Structure 1
Amino acid sequence: MIAFLGTGLLGGNFVRALIKKGNEVQVWNRTAAKATALEADGAKAFENAADAVKGAARIHITLKDDASVNEVLAQALPGLQPGAVIIDHTTTSIEGAVERTQHWQQQGFTYLHVPVFMGPANALEGTGFMLVSGNQEVIQQWESTLAGMTGKVLNFGPEEGKAAGMKLTGNAFLVTLTGGLADTLTLAKSMGVSLSEVATLFDNWNPGALLPARLQRMGGGKYDTPSWELNMARKDTQLFLDAAQQGGVNLTVIPAVAALMDQFIARGHGNNDWTVIGKDAVS
């Protein structure tokens, strides 16, 4: 028996995938209609979390944040069977993941934080990535089960909370990327460059392919053989800012990058490779 607490887009498709594989799944969601909708797929919905977890050897959670996880698990506690395993896919703080691991161990349960890089389609198809860290004996016991729910399980070692940190790191990149794209599209529009023309550019030139080499260069600590000098990158950045001003639009991410560039130029790094602006983050 499996219980699933939190059956939104991601959790709901996890449930559907588990049922397709022949598992019996009991579900609960704060908005009850999202849980009862899964009864059409074969799940059994409950009005409260404690009833939903009764008889379940493992409980999966996909909720919003630390507070909601703590609240729902407290509600579920009266129904948990001895020795139940709690597998939490929620994106949370490092501190929260560590505290819950310790707290539930003291209560006689296993808590494993397994955040994911998966969308609803991935959950249904069993593709994507799950991140895990902590007690390696526990992870070894459950890794094959988790692998059955995703394309790949990434084990980041014995440090509790490391998986939470890796998830936040990845999400920070996604947020930064999307913010940068918003600036890019805003600037393009102000210059009369259409979305389809931007798409044509990126269909032919994939800057994402530069990421591994860029990360290696930023982490290498050697910036004195530039492929693009910081002074020149800053000059181009000013062209972005000037074009945006002329187009009457506001940019959000690029002004912050320009300010960071100015700081490093003032520190004497103008002739270094422009990736030097990441120096303080990696040194």
Structure 2
Amino acid sequence: MIAFLGQGRMGVPMARRLTRAGYKVTTWRRGSGVTAAEAVDGAELVITMLSDPAAVREVLTAALPGLRPGATVVEMSTIGPEAVRELRALLPAEVGLVDAPVLGSVGPAADGTLTVLAGGDVSGCREVLSVFGAVRELGPLGAGAAMKIAVMSAIVPAQVLLAETFAYGEAHGVDRDALAGVLSGTPLGTLAERLRVPSAETRYSLGHAAKDLELGAWEGATMAGAARARLQQARAAGLGERDLTAIAEHVGGHIDGGAARRAVPLNLSTIPATNGRYSHAVRVGDMLYVSGQAAFDEQGNIVGEGSMAAQSEHIFQVISRILADQGATFEDIAFIRTYVTDMDQLLDYGRVRARYITGTPPASTTVEVSRLFRPGLVLEVDLIVALPG
């Protein structure tokens, strides 16, 4: 049996291909009513296709009680080699791990024409991986993750460069189609055609492109760094869920003199929706202001009613997703404020917080209050974050 964790844009067609190939597949997604541990129970192969390193760590940590000895985890998300090494340390020694991110978007995922970049011992999953497309065996564990980041560090900045090329052309009276026609005779022709008319369908989201460049950031990468900053601006402007080709519209609006909104509300699809009267976070320049986070699930029900430990864990998982969306980590938190209804339970909160905030602690305030806005809530946490430049 195969357990497939993650049913987003890529996960759905990939899981369908496995089913059509005759494999018994159990799928899991957030809010399904089934825990990750229940989903992987009895599975020989566990495939993860999730949004970012924080999501992968969270889901696999939750799945640990259900992983059978001898099972193999195939991590197919784009999380980078450092996160793969962290997963190896997280998983029991008797559970195998292969990193196998893919090149290609939703169409190739459905057609089985992805390129699978595999690291580690794939002898037990080679046949399964071939259902998705061509398998490139690249070496030891982490080699696939490193290759994926290296490739995206070229492909994504090239698309940002072309977006700026089209914006410059339009600002100087150059016909967009004519420019695309000239570029078609160059090595950039295929990418130029993709940018000429931004896609209405999200095949590879702008937010994921920004995340991929953040994972590959290094001090000497000046071109990738500039592209990363441009994508971060577009993501903060609310384009994170759009296709990467939307960067052309964003760049064009700036070169035409369009004024960027100074306070940009952020509401992620991966965390429960608000009631419409606040946003989960607001970005102003390089500062992120995170609203008070409480323990609610996707249906608006309280998680761990009355339990400080359970609510603390849920809140810090939500915070990790908000930070990851903006390319930040817990080390970037400048200020954290905590509201508790019972100071006698503060040790339970502190144990959870210490697992997430491990370095030099941020500025902090803790306040005991008589009650929070819903009965059963015992904790609320808000933050100010200094985002990476």
- What TM-score comes out, normalization by structure 1 length? 0.63
Residues 1:47 and 2:47 are matched in the alignment: no
Structure 1 residue 56: deviation in Å?
1.3
Aligned residue number for residue 157 of structure 1: 139
Residues 1:119 and 2:102 are matched in the alignment: no
2:27 partner amino acid: V
Q: Give me the whole-angstrom Cα distance separating, in 2, the residues matched to 1:175 and 1:124.
A: 22
Write out per-residue CA displacement over residues 64-100 of structure 1, whole angstroms, 9 at most, x where no aligned residue. Answer: 1211111101111122222111101011121111222
Aligned residue number for residue 37 of structure 1: none
Q: Per the alignment, do residues 248 and 208 of structure 1 end up closer, same or farther by CA in structure 2, a change over 3 Å counting?
A: closer
Task: Tell me, yes or no, if the aligned pair for 1:133 and 1:139 is still in contact at 8 Å.
Answer: yes
Q: Give me the whole-angstrom Cα distance separating, in 2, the residues matched to 1:73 and 1:103.
A: 9
Q: Give me the whole-angstrom Cα distance separating, in 1, the residues matched to 2:88 and 2:98.
A: 7
For the residue of structure 2 that corresponds to 1:69, the secondary structure is helix
Higher RCO (C-alpha 8 Å, min separation 6): 1
Aligned residue number for residue 43 of structure 2: 56
Task: Tell me, yes or no, if the aligned pair for 1:187 and 1:249 is still in contact at 8 Å.
Answer: no
Q: Give me the whole-angstrom Cα distance separating, in 1, the residues matched to 2:179 and 2:20.
A: 41
Task: Tell me, yes or no, if the aligned pair for 2:18 and 2:128 is still in contact at 8 Å.
Answer: no
Q: Per the alignment, do residues 248 and 162 of structure 1 end up closer, same or farther by CA in structure 2, a change over 3 Å counting?
A: same
Structure 1 residue 6: deviation in Å?
0.5
Write out per-residue CA displacement over residues 147-169 of structure 1, whole angstroms, 9 at most, x where no aligned residue. Answer: 2221x1112223x3222111111
Structure 1 residue 248: deviation in Å?
5.8
Aligned residue number for residue 148 of structure 1: 131
Q: Give me the whole-angstrom Cα distance separating, in 2, the residues matched to 1:199 and 1:208.
A: 10
Matches within 5 A, 1:149-228: 149-150=132-133, 152-158=134-140, 160-203=141-184, 205-208=185-188
Q: Give me the whole-angstrom Cα distance separating, in 2, the residues matched to 1:141 and 1:49.
A: 22
Match of 1:109 among 95, 100, 111: 95
Structure 1 residue 133: deviation in Å?
1.9
1:122 partner amino acid: P
Q: Give me the whole-angstrom Cα distance separating, in 2, the residues matched to 1:81 and 1:68.
A: 21
Task: Tell me, yes or no, if the aligned pair for 1:101 and 1:112 is still in contact at 8 Å.
Answer: no
Q: Give me the whole-angstrom Cα distance separating, in 1, the residues matched to 2:158 and 2:11.
A: 26
Aligned residue number for residue 273 of structure 1: none
Identity %: 31
Q: Per the alignment, do residues 124 and 248 of structure 1 end up closer, same or farther by CA in structure 2, a change over 3 Å counting?
A: closer
Q: Give me the whole-angstrom Cα distance separating, in 1, the residues matched to 2:68 and 2:36.
A: 13
2:142 partner amino acid: G
Q: Per the alignment, do residues 99 and 248 of structure 1 end up closer, same or farther by CA in structure 2, a change over 3 Å counting?
A: closer
Aligned residue number for residue 41 of structure 1: none
Structure 1 residue 249: deviation in Å?
5.9
Number of residue equivalences: 194
Q: Structure 1: which 4+ aligned runs deviate by more than 3 Å?
A: 247-250
Q: CA RMSD in A?
A: 2.2
Q: Give me the whole-angstrom Cα distance separating, in 2, the residues matched to 1:147 and 1:23.
A: 13
Q: Which has the higher helix share?
A: 1
For the residue of structure 1 that corresponds to 2:50, the secondary structure is coil
Larger radius of gyration: 1
For the residue of structure 1 that corresponds to 2:132, the secondary structure is coil
Q: Give me the whole-angstrom Cα distance separating, in 1, the residues matched to 2:48 and 2:24.
A: 16
Q: Which has the higher strand share?
A: 2
Aligned residue number for residue 62 of structure 2: 75
Structure 2 gaps, min length 5: 190-251, 259-389
1:207 partner amino acid: P
